[in-house]
Amino acid sequence: MAEEKKRIMFVMPSVSEKWNDNTRELLNRYVSPGFEVNLVNVKYGGIESIPGLVMAVTLPYIIHEILEAAQEGYDAIIPNCCSDPGVAETRSVVNVPVVGPAESALHIACTLGYRIGIIEVGGTPPNWAHQLVKKHGLSDRFASVRSVALAVEDCGDAKLTLDALHEASLKAVEQDRAEVLVFGCTGLTGYAEELQRRLDIPVVEPSLAALKMAEVLIAMNLKHSRLAFPLESAFGAGAGAEVKYPPTLKPYS
């Protein structure tokens, strides 16, 4: 009898499915034997997944899908955005790994070189990348952030996007002395391999990094430390405070 596959859910933080096919194709190409990947979109929120107000509006629905996936027995859950939305909020609630694409990509990059450059899309709030590396304690490994002159919705044009990524990446390498590059947006899925070939340095794709991190945690039977993320109820049991939750946040047990 074949062993049941371990299931990993990617929560797509957009109401649009326009990025689903590219993401699914990449993940299915790299997922290891014995693992299965599924995608689900939020029901409400932004069309583009960008930090700031749009992400704040979308966050409750990301959390809802994370809790739903945990209820359905998924072995790991990944909110597929480089803001790592809902990761910190749900690690103390669910009993399976909740893996952040940016956190995974940055820490993998640290094993490949000393100076990390982040390549992000246009429209990202100022200092977002600096705040990201500071949050993960990696400021001393940070070379720079370079933005491509494209909005997230323009990244479907392969030639335009790749040329823009190449131009920004060359500046990061030649001017900022970056040794490893990390994409600062999961909307750039599918471009790392060709960019890496052009530049001859590692380019880390956050969605793929999160997939592999989730596989490792599942295979090693590891979950997040309860000293760092004490287990609590999704509805604040014992916290001494009453909260009126939106209907999208169903109880998790």
Q: Which residues contact 158 (CB under 8 A, 6 or more apart)?
A: 191
How much is the pLDDT for 238? 46
The strand ranges marked E within the chain are 6-12, 35-41, 76-79, 116-121, 142-148, 180-183, 203-204
CATH topology of domain 102-206: Rossmann fold (3.40.50)
The strand ranges marked E within 64-131 are 76-79, 116-121
pLDDT (tens digit, 0 to 9) for every residue of the chain, 253 residues total? 567 999 999 999 999 888 899 999 999 999 999 999 999 999 988 776 666 677 788 899 999 999 999 999 999 999 999 999 999 999 999 999 999 999 999 999 999 999 999 999 876 766 888 888 999 999 999 999 998 877 666 666 778 889 999 999 999 999 999 999 999 989 888 899 999 999 999 999 999 999 999 999 999 999 999 999 998 765 554 455 566 666 666 555 5
Q: Name the packing angle between helices 101-109 and 128-135 (round to 10°).
A: 70
* Cβ atoms within 10 Å of 219's Cβ, excluding its own: 12
Phi, psi (deg, nearest 5) at residue 91: -60, -30
How much is the pLDDT for 57? 85
Q: Which residues contact 210 (CB under 8 A, 6 or more apart)?
A: 78, 80, 99, 100, 101, 104, 105
CATH topology of domain 6-100+208-219: Rossmann fold (3.40.50)
Please check whether the two domains, 6-100+208-219 and 102-206, share a CATH topology: yes
Token representation of residue 199: 């530049």
Cα(71)–Cα(163) distance, rounded to whole angstroms?
Answer: 42
Residue pair 98/81 in contact by the 8 Å Cβ criterion? no
The residue type at 95: N
CA distances from 242 to 56, 180, 200, 235 (A): 21, 46, 55, 9
Cα four-point dihedral sign 190, 193, 199, 205 = positive
* Cβ atoms within 10 Å of 74's Cβ, excluding its own: 21
Q: Provide the residue ranges of all domains of the chain, joining segments of one domain with +.
A: 6-100+208-219, 102-206
How much is the pLDDT for 50? 64
CA distances from 191 to 111, 194, 217 (A): 21, 6, 26
How much is the pLDDT for 182? 97
The residue type at 128: W
Closest CA to 187 of 211, 225, 155, 220: 155
* Residue matched to tokens 């809802």: 64
Query: Which pTM value belongs to this model?
Result: 0.90
